[in-house]
Amino acid sequence: MAKKHVDRAVLALLIVMAVLLFNSTANYTGIALKTSAKYVQFLAVSIGVLSVIQLGFSVFKEQSSVKLQLTENIGRFVGLLVSLGLFAAAFEKFGFFIPAAVFIPFIAVLLGYRRPFVIALTTIGVLIFVYLVFIQLLSVNLPGLDFLGGV
């Protein structure tokens, strides 16, 4: 199957999922309507808009019929999957910020980035963005430092 067809199918699926996710918030009740629903709607709109934009780029940009190749480096792919599993396990115990502060630079190095300053700046930027958007703007309670007694 050609890569462009797979890309477009995945993007169309993401758009449908974003609409369904947004519509699912209609069933929220009580306090969840003011907290969790906002978070889910934000994610749904973000995913939907970005998918529509990417689909537009895909349609209007002529791509060759290159065959889909899932990975060029199987070791790197497996490393990413294992890292994601470790992140999920650490997330349960340590919350979001500490595992993300370790996971983001590790993945950057695994993907071939070698500039420590850029990796550190990107990690700090992502963590600040998540804090500002989800905790300050949307008032979402991300899992915190439960192992320290709920700091």
- Give pLDDT tens digits for 94-107: 888 888 999 999 98
54, amino acid identity: Q
Tokens of 148: 């320290």
Task: Answer with the one of 69, 99, 119 that is the final residue of a domain.
Answer: 69
End-to-end CA distance of the chain: 50
Considering the domain architecture, whether residues 61 and 85 belong to the same structural domain is answered as no
State the pTM of this model. 0.55
Averaged pLDDT for residues 58-75:
68
Band of pLDDT at residue 146, cut at 50, 70 and 90: very low
Q: Do 46 and 57 fall within a single domain? A: yes
For residues 43 and 98, membership in a common domain is answered with: no
| Last residue in a domain, options 69, 102, 121 | 69
Last residue of a domain, one of 42, 69, 96: 69
53 is in which domain, residue-wise?
1-69
Q: What is the pLDDT of residues 107-145, one digit of tens each?
A: 898 888 889 999 999 999 999 998 888 788 877 777 764
**Any idea which of 52-56, 68-72, 74-78, 110-114 has the lowest mean pLDDT?**
68-72
Q: How many domains does the chain have?
A: 2
